[in-house]
Amino acid sequence: SQQGEEDPQALSIQEGENATMNCSYKTSINNLQWYRQNSGRGLVHLILIRSNEREKHSGRLRVTLDTSKKSSSLLITASRAADTASYFCATDLGYSTLTFGKGTMLLVSP
Partner 1 sequence: DTGVSQDPRHKITKRGQNVTFRCDPISEHNRLYWYRQTLGQGPEFLTYFQNEAQLEKSRLLSDRFSAERPKGSFSTLEIQRTEQGDSAMYLCASSHPPGQGNTEAFFGQGTRLTVV
Instruction: Please give the residues from 19 up to 58 whose contact with partner 1 meets the rule CB under 8 A.
Output: 30-31, 33, 35, 40-45, 48
Minimal distance in Å, beta carbon 86 to partner 1? 9
Binding mask 54-93 for partner 1 (x = CB under 8 A): ----------------------------------x-x-x-
Minimal distance in Å, beta carbon 41 to partner 1? 6
CB atoms within 10 A of CB 89: 31
Closest CA to 4 of 96, 88, 106, 94: 88
Adjacent-strand bridge partners of 62: 57, 75
Contact predicate 3/101, CB 8 Å: yes
Q: How far apart are CA 95 and CA 100, in angstroms?
A: 14
Q: Which stretch binds partner 1 (CB under 8 A): 13-21, 52-60, 71-79, 101-109?
A: 101-109
